[in-house]
Amino acid sequence: MTSMTDDTAKDAWIQRSRFKVHGRKKGILKRGETDWLPQRLQELSPPWATTRHETLTRWQADPGTARLWLEIGFGNGDTLTHMALHHPQDRLIGIDVFMEGFSALLRRIERMNLHNVAVEAGHALEILETRKIEALLDRVMINFPDPWPKKRHHKRRLIQTDFLDRLATAMTPGGLLTLATDWPDYGVWMQDHLEVHPAFTNPHGPRQPAPEPDLWQPTRFQQKGESAGRPILHLAYQRS
């Protein structure tokens, strides 16, 4: 059997992308992972359809009661798998650019015997655009996105107006976007962008933080922030 070299497999989607991906994205894959990862990723692709009803039906869920979730930047999949385990009637999609995280996530999905999780590799904005995702997502989670603390790197931050415009298109009216960060400056940046965005409203009142989401479980990046003494900010915005 032909096996891809480590570099080919790790870089495949990054080279295809027309969006610039910043920061760590290769990670360290164990020998052999490059053989099974691409195939497993293929098997776990979301059954995207043009309507939410059709997407959930294809995924053997009841569109009347199930919710469609997306986590952007799932890291090693702590939150995605935890939420999937506790919401077996719902369907959850994870998007990330970081190959090492996929390997951890896929192992966890198997260990936990989850059948309601799908994954996509690549830049979130590019996937939302190329898949033409419109009015499908009931719940979107963005937990501890890369903070890019230096001013000259702020343009690399995930939360930008054009990204929020695209996300708003992808979400259902009334859908909920939740965010968490341990970088106070990024928290203010998120609020600055979201509070003035015409498609989102803050259900907790102007510039108010949100309580921890239900069933919240601290992530690895939350733990890193807390051990460095940084407070955790949760935010929630409703798609109007």
Ligand X SMILES: C[S@@+](CC[C@H](N)C(=O)[O-])C[C@H]1O[C@@H](n2cnc3c(N)ncnc32)[C@H](O)[C@@H]1O
Minimum distance from CB of 191 to ligand X (Å)?
19
Q: Does 158 bind ligand X (CB under 6 A)?
A: yes
- Between 184-195 and 161-170, two packed helices, what is the crossing angle to 10 degrees? 60
Category of 29 on φ-ψ map: left (φ > 0), alpha (ψ -120 to 50) or beta: beta
- Asked if 214 is an active-site residue, the reply is no
Stretch that binds ligand X, among 30-38, 200-208, 219-227, 229-237 (CB under 6 A): 219-227
Stretch that binds ligand X, among 4-12, 44-52, 71-79, 130-138 (CB under 6 A): 71-79
Between vectors from CA 126 to CA 191 and to CA 221, what angle results, nearest 5°? 50
Q: Does 186 bind ligand X (CB under 6 A)?
A: no
Among 75, 94, 187, 225, binds ligand X (CB under 6 A): 75
Alpha-carbon distance of 204 to 217, in angstroms, equals: 21
By the 10 Å C-beta count (0-12 exposed, 13-18 middle, 19+ buried), 115 is classed as exposed
Minimum distance from CB of 125 to ligand X (Å)?
6
Minimum distance from CB of 6 to ligand X (Å)?
18
Which residue type, as a one-letter code, is found at position 196? V
Which residues here bind ligand X, judged by CB under 6 A? 72-75, 78, 95-98, 101, 123-124, 143-146, 158, 219-221
